[in-house]
Structure 1
Amino acid sequence: MSAFDYDLVIIGAGPAGLTAGLYAARARLNVLLLEKAVPGGQIIVTDWIENYPGFPEGISGFDLAEKMKIQAEAFGLKIDTAEVHSLALTPDVKEVVLQDKRIKAKSLIIASGASPKKLGIGEDRYMGKGISFCATCDAPFFKEKTVVAVGGGDTAVQEAIYLTKFVKKVYLLHRRDELRATKILQERAFANDKIEILWDTVATGVDGFFGIEGVHVKNVKTGEEKTLKADGCFIWVGTLPNTDFLKDAVDTDAYGFIRTDAKMQTSVSGVFAVGDVRDTPLRQVSTAVGDGAIAAVSAEHYLENIIK
């Protein structure tokens, strides 16, 4: 019996992990993909994706994730539900520690993604009671109500626009005096009469007993503070990498994102990182897919050259 369970283990089943799995399975590697939740990553809660090549009319994030999963499994990819607790990495063996067992692999691809960043305004207390990070999931609960949305990037603006399909009004808070979102999304937001943008403004807290009744805000330039009467608060202010299980196993940047080279190679030989979890200038489905393909091919080349 081989000392190794798999040629390759992939951690995370978002677009990057699924693509890596597809390429690896198609190359006939003995590969296992581990996902602690539902395959698809953050895109499964994205209402509509219109900038992914091949879908000129757009596609829902859930449907795109499902198509990726089906395609990868058609090539023989094995996907197991399990949470990774830690890694034990040496030049020869990549050991993945789960709750009830340890898996030994010759190579490893980390595709664990990232999670929404919190503001510290009561997210833990009011999660599911007015505070949300997902308009697609929770917008129907706020039909004909007023909500606050926080952020100025693509996700914040796109999700604020989506909210207007359900709510009466959206206050969009941005701490600067111009949005960071792409121009086409900005144009749509400016043209939407349900969206009121509050510039140079941050959320400082929320009020409510059973649920949110108001959101405290502050103008960062004037110092003016007030409370917006609102029934919900949606937060999109960036992401944090899902790297708690790494425990310094590979090099990361100051924010915890994994450093890689152009071949997706990390600081440990035979260990690669892809998608939102790595240090990258752009976090989109298309770039995640590209990362996954490169990493799988890099892992294949690595496996061909190591001493067996």
Structure 2
Amino acid sequence: MLDANIKTQLKAYLERVTQPIEIVASLDDGPKSQEMRELLRDVAEQSALITLTESGNDARKPSFSVGPKGGEGRVRFAGLPMGHEFTSLILALLQSAGYPPKVEADVIEQIKSLEGEFNFETYISLSCHNCPDVVQALNLMAILNPNIRHTMIDGALFQKEVEERQIMAVPTVYLNGQEFGQGRMELGEILAKVDTGAAARDARKLSDKAAFDVLVVGGGPAGAAAAIYAARKGIRTGIVAERFGGQVMDTMAIENFISVKYTEGPKLVASLEEHVKEYEVDVMNLQRVAKVVPGSEDGTTLAEVQLENGATLKSRTVIVATGARWREMNVPGEKEFRGKGVAYCPHCDGPLFKGKRVAVIGGGNSGVEAAIDLAGVVAHVTLLEFADELRADAVLQKKLYSLPNVTVIKSAQTTEVTGTDKVNGLVYKDRKTDETHRIELEGIFVQIGLLPNTDFLKGSLELSRFGEIIVDAKGQTSVPGVFAAGDCTTVPYKQIIIAMGEGAKASLSAFDHLIRTSTPA
């Protein structure tokens, strides 16, 4: 099952195991059970402290639990944890043996102190790059707290469950039989939902922080670059972000980041985070900003960044780098069927539509790439483009038109998403003839660009008619002492490498502003 190179690497990891681990498998006579048997035997052979038994009687077959020998295996994998999930398996083995997780001590104590019974189930696809974070967070919670159990379920393998629960997006998490959440979630987000007093405690702790010299709002490439450049000046720097990494976390192939021939979004974000942590930057993650209140023009009054949990942070200067989000179609049915057939990430959710009919909305590079990607999984792809011609690169169009199970419709304006409990079709208008048509399908992937995350700034900063923050050549906004960078601004060409440069520029401009204004008492 595992090749020699992977076995060698796995053996090196498992040398850190110091306590006996037991893997209990629930198998049948099917081919997937045979694959799981081979995988688990390969894993067990890499450490004398790992015992494998096939005495499990779980209803989901194939599946297996991981836990300390003689104890309860509260972490379960229903399906083969390969691809992106192989790391989840390795971490579960190490942490079950007592290997310390890379989590702050107060978070560990918060997990251990949770009261009540928590039975989590996470539906994933092996091609989903967001799923492992959720799986690993819930696995850790189950390992640390005896009241918590977690099962990873491969949706492609247990399709009957997926259909019964009408799951059409991954990761989808259930808690005690009820839907708990969907999409990428970090450990802190999960804890905030199950620990009802966490938000208030967090708000008090944040409000007690001393004022910053530079406070960056947003943790994407622009925000990370801004924080690094500020911290290198030796001034008090902070980042407050709803999700460190931002939109880049949802990006797979990155082939135009100069000097790096190929990388993936999560890998790039991990490198960004590691670089930021090399400096004395106070990173306040999983925090949503509600309002920015500028300080006085001469710097004697501090700016305030108010958070949705009630906390208020103060700073001499502020750099807004909140990035952008997927643009929605804004047609009837889109919101109602989000996660029930309407999706925005073909890499994550594509495998759930295996053998089904889907549509891709948008004929730019992202739309055409999505259609090409999906064509290898689904029965048929219909790509709809609003304009008279596709806007994607010629090489992508050539590939698209070579695929036998793809239909391209131009001059098509989507007007409605239809369905009952899930998507069953879409309606579009032919912009040349005004005729209305309906396509029967099971999934719709929206790929029509981005919207700046600037809603909370209306009335505070000058915005363009597209909602972008208007900045000058130095990243200065309409308010002195407040700067902006990245995809949320009017700077053209929304690219990772451009966002980083703009973040560095805004930070240098903020420092220049600081040395030219008075310091508040």
Q: Does 1:160 align with 2:371?
A: yes
Q: Does 1:22 align with 2:228?
A: yes
Q: CA deviation at 1:304?
A: 1.9
- Give the equivalent residue in structure 2 for 1:274: 485
In structure 2, how many angstroms separate the alpha carbons of the residues matched to 1:79 and 1:188? Answer: 43
In structure 2, how many angstroms separate the alpha carbons of the residues matched to 1:234 and 1:60? Answer: 21
SS at match of 1:123: coil
In structure 2, how many angstroms separate the alpha carbons of the residues matched to 1:165 and 1:63? Answer: 25
Question: Partner amino acid for 2:492?
Answer: P
- Where do 5+ consecutive residues of structure 2 fail to align? 1-208
In structure 2, how many angstroms separate the alpha carbons of the residues matched to 1:83 and 1:192? Answer: 43
Question: Partner amino acid for 1:32?
Answer: G
Q: Does 1:140 align with 2:338?
A: no
- Give the equivalent residue in structure 2 for 1:105: 315
Question: Partner amino acid for 1:206?
Answer: V
Q: How does 1:88-237 map to 2 (within 5 A)?
A: 88-90=293-295, 91=297, 92=299, 93-98=302-307, 99-119=309-329, 120-237=331-448
From 496, 502, 509, the counterpart of 1:285: 496
Q: Does 1:6 align with 2:216?
A: no
Question: Partner amino acid for 1:256?
Answer: G
Question: Partner amino acid for 2:304?
Answer: E
From 34, 40, 46, the counterpart of 2:240: 34
- Give the equivalent residue in structure 2 for 1:44: 249
Q: CA deviation at 1:19?
A: 1.4
Residues 95-134 of structure 1 show CA distances to partners (whole Å, capped at 9, x for unaligned) of 1112332111111110111222222231210010000122
In structure 2, how many angstroms separate the alpha carbons of the residues matched to 1:227 and 1:247? Answer: 38
- Where do 5+ consecutive residues of structure 1 fail to align? none
Question: Partner amino acid for 1:285?
Answer: I
Q: How does 1:62-73 map to 2 (within 5 A)?
A: 62-73=266-277
Q: CA deviation at 1:4?
A: 6.1
Greater shift in the superposed pair: 226-235 or 257-266: 226-235
Are 2:333 and 2:418, in contact at CA under 8 Å, matched by a contact in 1? no
In structure 2, how many angstroms separate the alpha carbons of the residues matched to 1:17 and 1:165? Answer: 36
Q: Does 1:238 align with 2:449?
A: yes
Q: Does 1:86 align with 2:296?
A: no
In structure 1, how many angstroms separate the alpha carbons of the residues matched to 2:238 and 2:486? Answer: 18
Residues 113-170 of structure 1 show CA distances to partners (whole Å, capped at 9, x for unaligned) of 1222222231210010000122222112112222101112222222222323422222
SS at match of 2:423: coil
Alignment CA distance shift 1:4-1:106 (3 Å): farther
In structure 2, how many angstroms separate the alpha carbons of the residues matched to 1:14 and 1:115? Answer: 12
Q: CA RMSD in A?
A: 1.8
- Highest relative contact order (Cα 8 Å, sep 6+), 1 or 2? 1
SS at match of 1:260: coil
In structure 1, how many angstroms separate the alpha carbons of the residues matched to 2:405 and 2:248? Answer: 25
Alignment CA distance shift 1:174-1:306 (3 Å): same
In structure 1, how many angstroms separate the alpha carbons of the residues matched to 2:322 and 2:505? Answer: 16
Provide the aligned length of Structure 1 versus Structure 2. 304
Q: CA deviation at 1:89?
A: 0.7
In structure 2, how many angstroms separate the alpha carbons of the residues matched to 1:161 and 1:28? Answer: 48
Residues 251-299 of structure 1 show CA distances to partners (whole Å, capped at 9, x for unaligned) of 1111211000111111111111111111122111111111111111111
In structure 1, how many angstroms separate the alpha carbons of the residues matched to 2:386 and 2:276? Answer: 41
